Amino acid sequence: MEGVQLTDMGGQPMVMLAIVLVVLILVSAFFSSSETAMMTLNRYRLKHLAERGHRAAQSAQKLLERPDRLISLLLFGNNFINILIAQIATVVTLELWGEHALIASSAVLTAVVLVFAEVVPKTLAAIHPERIAFPAAFVLRPLQFVLWPFVWTLNWISNGVLALLGVRELKRARESLSREELRTVVKEAGAMIPQQHQQMLFGILDLETATVEDIMVPRGDIYGIDLDDEWPDVLEQLMNCRHTRVPCYSGNIDNIEGLLHLRRLAKTLRSGDDFTVTDLRALLVEPYYVPMTTDLYVQLLNFQKQKQRIAFVVDEYGDIEGLVTLEDLLEEVVGEFTTDPQIHARDVYPQEDGSFLVDGSANIRAINRVYGFGLPTAGPKTVNGLILETLEDIPITGTAFRLGHITVEIVQTAERAVKTARLTLAGSAPQRSAAQDFHHDGDG
């Protein structure tokens, strides 16, 4: 009888306690979601918004400067509320159903707290971190000030434990992205960055992975003027030259005398005076040399610093191996400058059957960029060099083998080198290493 009277008299307090339980579960959900949202925020976007004056972002950034204090605040609030929920639920259970219902109510309460105060709010916060973290920042900062004694005590204890574990730097470590991580960020940007701009960004990121040797014009392909030739022949070459700047040498390319700018030559010829080889030599500027191992990023800076546009590439013995221009380097970033199909076709000749006849001296990086062959660039720089390295022999005409997703057939050889090769792409076939795909279809 007494138990019935207690229940009847306590009906209104029970309703109030039930309302308090619901409110406390919502508060617990706030702390849980705030914790996940704060730790899931994109730090680079947060910094960008804060620098633009976004108040919520500035508050969140301030909280994240000391993650130990933020975590102490969130965990203190969350655990305090959850313990309070458990105590109130215990009182309500004992009042309504007695001690025999404690186990059942604990199971129900655990499920309710997990779903509505943990799983659901944390999932929403992980999906939409800014929507949760930014409003929460305005609540957490003053709350951190109010609960400072408790937060400071928790920090003092936890930091002491961390110190025993060897952790003494409590401020958030400065984040940095590697080159490959930056590539992933650019790739994941999707439609926000146009495809052409993405390729430019990739080109910039790849500058440090390539050297001038990868993009240089090989020694044998350098167009220059031999000043030891007959003077009429020299004048004819000057008149028919298609380049703005021309190397001039005596006898062979190793004896570079200088670089001739044809605009300076035009001014001299317009004067009407007799023009001799001595006058020509007076117009030459000193050549600029660079090591073949210089990476493209450094060389770009060197071109800018030295105010040069053309450099002769030398090996470790000082012998000239090729020539690199500022235009060649910039094409690694922005792509081909010229739209003249004859320029693109000088080393690669598309065939009606879908294959490509490729000159053995073609630069692999250049034809990859224009035609998207996907040939390996880590080793040899030319198609001939790639074939010789793969076969480890000088092949005969008719030899064929697989190189990843491409079938390579030797069409013509000359002077211990591959003159022309036929490349046939296997559509969307997956790429594999040359060692896995290598086989001979000929006798070579």
Where do the H-state alpha helices sit in 241-350?
262-270, 277-283, 296-306, 326-334, 341-344
Widest distance between CA atoms in the chain:
132
CATH topology of domain 207-334: CBS-domain (3.10.580)
Report whether pLDDT(48) > 50: yes
Report whether pLDDT(134) > 90: yes
Please tell me the predicted confidence (pLDDT) of residue 435. Answer: 35
Please tell me the predicted confidence (pLDDT) of residue 9. Answer: 40
HEC assignment per residue over 193-240: CCHHHHHHHHHHHCHHHCEHHHHCEEHHHCCCEECCCCHHHHHHHHHH
Distance of alpha carbon 395 from alpha carbon 413, whole angstroms: 8
Residue ranges of the domains in the chain? 2-164, 207-334, 341-437
CA dihedral 224, 226, 231, 233 (to 10 degrees): -50
Please tell me the predicted confidence (pLDDT) of residue 289. Answer: 93
Please tell me the predicted confidence (pLDDT) of residue 291. Answer: 93
Please tell me the predicted confidence (pLDDT) of residue 172. Answer: 52
**Looking at residues 74-84, what average pLDDT do you find?**
89
Pull the structure tokens for residue 315.
């090996």
Spatial contact of 418 and 410, defined as CB atoms under 8 Å apart: yes
Distance of alpha carbon 234 from alpha carbon 279, whole angstroms: 13
pLDDT band at 266 (very low <50, low <70, confident <90, very high): confident
Provide the 8-state DSSP code for 396.
P
Distance of alpha carbon 284 from alpha carbon 278, whole angstroms: 10
List Cα–Cα distances, 358 to 339, 344, 388, in angstroms: 20, 11, 15
pLDDT band at 437 (very low <50, low <70, confident <90, very high): very low
Tens digit of pLDDT for each residue in 341-387?
445 446 888 888 888 999 888 888 888 877 888 888 877 888 888 99
pLDDT band at 29 (very low <50, low <70, confident <90, very high): very high
Task: Specify whether the backbone of 376 is left (phi greater than 0), alpha (psi in -120 to 50) or beta.
Answer: beta
Where do the H-state alpha helices sit in 97-194?
102-112, 120-127, 129-146, 148-164, 179-188
User: Does the reported pTM lie above 0.85?
Assistant: no
3-state secondary structure of 248: strand
Please tell me the predicted confidence (pLDDT) of residue 131. Answer: 92
Distance of alpha carbon 194 from alpha carbon 118, whole angstroms: 40
CATH topology of domain 341-437: 3.30.465
In whole angstroms, what separates CA 346 from the centre of its chain? 32
**Looking at residues 431-438, what average pLDDT do you find?**
37
Provide the 8-state DSSP code for 323.
E
Report whether pLDDT(133) > 50: yes
pLDDT band at 123 (very low <50, low <70, confident <90, very high): very high
Report whether pLDDT(69) > 90: no
Please tell me the predicted confidence (pLDDT) of residue 138. Answer: 92
* Window from 95-109, 214-228, 338-352, 358-372 with minimum mean pLDDT: 338-352
Report whether pLDDT(328) > 60: yes
* Window from 106-110, 217-221, 342-346, 397-401 with minimum mean pLDDT: 342-346
* Window from 78-87, 93-102, 238-247, 355-364 with minimum mean pLDDT: 93-102
**Looking at residues 416-434, what average pLDDT do you find?**
68
Report whether pLDDT(300) > 60: yes
Report whether pLDDT(58) > 60: yes
* Window from 17-26, 92-101, 388-397 with minimum mean pLDDT: 92-101
Please tell me the predicted confidence (pLDDT) of residue 31. Answer: 92
